[in-house]
Structure 1
């Protein structure tokens, strides 16, 4: 199941099989809870663990560890229990853990008070192709691998709430791609064997020995329309003590990139907008749309202002810009942009002065 990383190979296969015709963003849950290893249930250690848990929650909701440097956040970390919903202890593989849950609304309110961007629950899914050294050879890292690097992807995905997918590497894929294709950053070749994975982004990673260390490089692409001349959206490279540390460094950089792209700050100004949905068949859709809009990190308030036939319009008060808002809508699998009607026919798009008009898909 998606915790954040799609873990077992069979599940990854079923995910590919049943989402071929859907959009790809993942709705990330558990953004307001965190587990922290502890050695005892003593009060001083509990208090320190609650602070660490709140730090993790703040990072998951903003997307970057830089948010912890904010003075408002620093003040709140001194009293984490004031945002606490509940906590408890559990044992996992012989390790005692403190599990803490914090109140979502109060966490978001804290981030807004600190004037920090907030990253919502809809987050892009990234497919990683990783070429790395193993036992004197270069291999591709698979979803089913038990290597430390695979676990590093899983741990970071859980910690930051960044959904990650690794390839199954079945026979079809192994015949269509080899590690040199990834090392050489031949994105067009990699994209040609990635069609089964309905991800938003495609990441090519090369990790190579460099004396007692490793060198690494990451190139990020949108998954659609890649050819041999397509430049990466984002690149990152460096060196690390080992491949697992290289994975962590690259994932931190990727998290910061997504933070700048999807986390939305309060502009401090009144930004009004509207959004229109057509082809509404049931009142249930209107209720679902309103519920969805009101939980978006880009929206201060959403009010249903017009119903005409099968068309509904909501007036919005935004934290960020309309572009930020539209970027978030593009991540929602239940929403699609309606193609304008042909010439001579009624077009809701033209009636909105060129603004996109949307459709809410029934399950």
Structure 2
């Protein structure tokens, strides 16, 4: 699925002063880079360090809002920062690190919540505090988490002991219906004022287990998904320069109305060599799309010719984009 907002972040700042603003922009850039870049010691990369010292140069826009509970002019504020994706991509290409694009597989999460000595399968309605912290962690790390349906059949098949078992065969069988490549299972335990957790990640025919000490709930779940991101990004990320080579821009004439635009995006996403589709803008009557490819550009052209949906009209000599027109709505 395509993850939205990877190049946006929200942080808390003490005031709107220049020093506090620059510190907040740096913190926001750290969040964004940690959810799109992959590699050892990302924050120690010389190119990244240079960028962090001039985070404002990569910002498209930012907005302030009073933080939750704030009332006065001197109250802390939430800053929402939107970074320029193209400028950051140029930065990444100049580093030795890799990137993980916005098309990401969902991670199935089986979760047991233990409170007051009682273990239960995680339920959104009964465990609102856990759900709020989990959704914040999902947004922070850009990891699409899929929760099991827990319908009647599943409740009969999967118990808390299956999630916590050292032998996950039964849980893996129950996970087959979701057709996912990564399965995360674990338990989060409340202990007075903090939460500890233990986890198992089954991915790429490997099983990894780890525990996290007692911390705040939001911090614990964020650290969990950061660990998952680290493991998955190593597998999925590609060198930033290679990612650019695997991109192709299409400029398509004849698209009229939102329905036609939506249908074309759906058609392009379903092509076998296309991993993501991003609408950019309308330029001289043509809709501009950026495609991430897993195959060759020649294969893309051949597939489009066979599809009888678009007619090729050559190339744009200025940027080598492919020009097409819509044959049928």
Q: Which residue of 227, 231, 246 maps to 1:253?
A: 227
Unpaired runs of 5+ residues, structure 2, are 71-76, 247-262, 278-288, 309-329
How far residue 192 of structure 1 moved from its aligned partner, in angstroms, is: 4.3
Matched residue of 2:98: which SS?
coil
User: Cα 1:44–1:308, aligned 2, differ >3 Å: closer, same or farther?
Assistant: closer
Q: Is the 8 A contact 2:197 2:211 kept in 1?
A: yes
How far residue 82 of structure 1 moved from its aligned partner, in angstroms, is: 1.1
Q: Is the 8 A contact 2:111 2:185 kept in 1?
A: yes
Q: Which residue of 238, 246, 250 maps to 2:211?
A: 238
Residue 24 of structure 2 corresponds to 49
Q: Is the 8 A contact 2:186 2:197 kept in 1?
A: no
Residue 109 of structure 2 corresponds to 128
User: Cα 1:56–1:260, aligned 2, differ >3 Å: closer, same or farther?
Assistant: same
Matched residue of 1:310: which SS?
helix
Which one has a larger percent strand, Structure 1 or Structure 2?
2
How far residue 217 of structure 1 moved from its aligned partner, in angstroms, is: 3.0
Unpaired runs of 5+ residues, structure 1, are 1-25, 223-231, 273-282, 313-363
- How far apart are the structure 2 equivalents of 1:297 and 1:307? 13
What do you get for the CA RMSD once the two structures are aligned?
A: 4.1
After superposition, the C-alpha distances for 1:222-270 in whole angstroms (9 at most, x for unaligned) are 7xxxxxxxxx5231213411583553433222110111011111578xx
Q: TM-score, normalised by structure 2?
A: 0.68
After superposition, the C-alpha distances for 1:184-228 in whole angstroms (9 at most, x for unaligned) are 145343344446645442222145699x98461313247xxxxxx
Q: Is the 8 A contact 1:153 1:164 kept in 2?
A: no
Deviates more, 1:67-76 or 1:242-251: 242-251
- How far apart are the structure 1 equivalents of 2:187 and 2:166? 8
Q: Which residue of 256, 263, 266 maps to 2:237?
A: 263
- How far apart are the structure 2 equivalents of 1:101 and 1:267? 23
Q: Which residue of 182, 189, 202 maps to 1:220?
A: 202
After superposition, the C-alpha distances for 1:121-151 in whole angstroms (9 at most, x for unaligned) are 1011011112242121112222344354433
Residue 66 of structure 2 corresponds to 91
Give the number of aligned pairs. Answer: 271
Q: Does 1:296 align with 2:292?
A: yes
Q: Is the 8 A contact 2:109 2:148 kept in 1?
A: yes
Q: TM-score, normalised by structure 1?
A: 0.62
